[in-house]
Structure 1
């Protein structure tokens, strides 16, 4: 251990950290290139060639040129994922139980919300709303 002083250990750790950080950024950029809808096929190919053949310069240029839109695409992707998850949870929560049919699988709150929407839109009258509400709560 005498041949490897403490400063060299810190330097090696810093190099390793920067190397891992660069790989993380490289994979994020490659993912962003394929996810980007505003790039044509040739644009994607050009960015990939630049990022792969001239890695350090390519990554830095990509971050400078497309960094802002890269974060916007990340936010957009997060919103899509969240919406898909909420839709899945909503669908799973309102699924009809085995042997059940129609509205039986929906919760009372969902049915009442739907009735309130129909009443607010004028599709049903107040009397119809009250009858349907009593039926749901019974």
Structure 2
């Protein structure tokens, strides 16, 4: 086996891996798409199994644009969920002394703390 035979085998292996990746990505997109009903999903799957390359090309032409939109929407939703989770875990940042005194005043008004605890919180907030 010569060097060019080796390169040809590498090319074929690369093409097979790419084809498998495309088929897997199309199958994932078919099952994630909420606009397709069950029969349409079944027909696409049958079409991809019977005529895989033709089915993949037709799917990418017919539904490729919406495939990208669904992927972008899912990525945006995941980023938003991640940001919401980080905000919920991080809590409220340390605010100005006036904000801390205002929160302490609210707790005093609700009866959660006593006047002496309010005075201690106020002194602590003004001290920095």
TM-score range, shorter chain: 0.7 to 0.9
2:78 and 2:49 mapped to 1: Cα distance? 29
> 1:93–1:15: structure 2 CA closer, same or farther, 3 Å change rule?
same
Any gaps of 5 or more consecutive residues in structure 2?
Answer: 104-121
Corresponding position: 1:17 with 2:17:
no
Which residue number in structure 2 is paired with residue 68 of structure 1?
A: 65
Any gaps of 5 or more consecutive residues in structure 1?
Answer: 95-105, 113-130
1:32 and 1:17 mapped to 2: Cα distance? 22
1:28 deviation in Å? Answer: 0.7
TM-score normalized with structure 2 length: 0.74
Structure showing greater Rg: 2
TM-score normalized with structure 1 length: 0.69
1:92-130 alpha-carbon deviations (Å, 9 max, x no partner): 112xxxxxxxxxxx3234xx7xxxxxxxxxxxxxxxxxx
2:5 and 2:50 mapped to 1: Cα distance? 30
1:134 deviation in Å? Answer: 5.5
1:44 and 1:18 mapped to 2: Cα distance? 26
Equivalent positions of 1:1-138 (< 5 A) are 4-94=1-91, 106-109=92-95, 133=99, 135=101, 138=125
Q: How many residues align?
A: 104
Q: Answer 1 or 2: higher relative contact order, Cα 8 Å, separation at least 6.
A: 2
1:11 and 1:5 mapped to 2: Cα distance? 10
1:65-110 alpha-carbon deviations (Å, 9 max, x no partner): 111111111100100110111111111112xxxxxxxxxxx3234x
- RMSD of aligned Cα (Å): 2.0
1:132 deviation in Å? Answer: 5.7
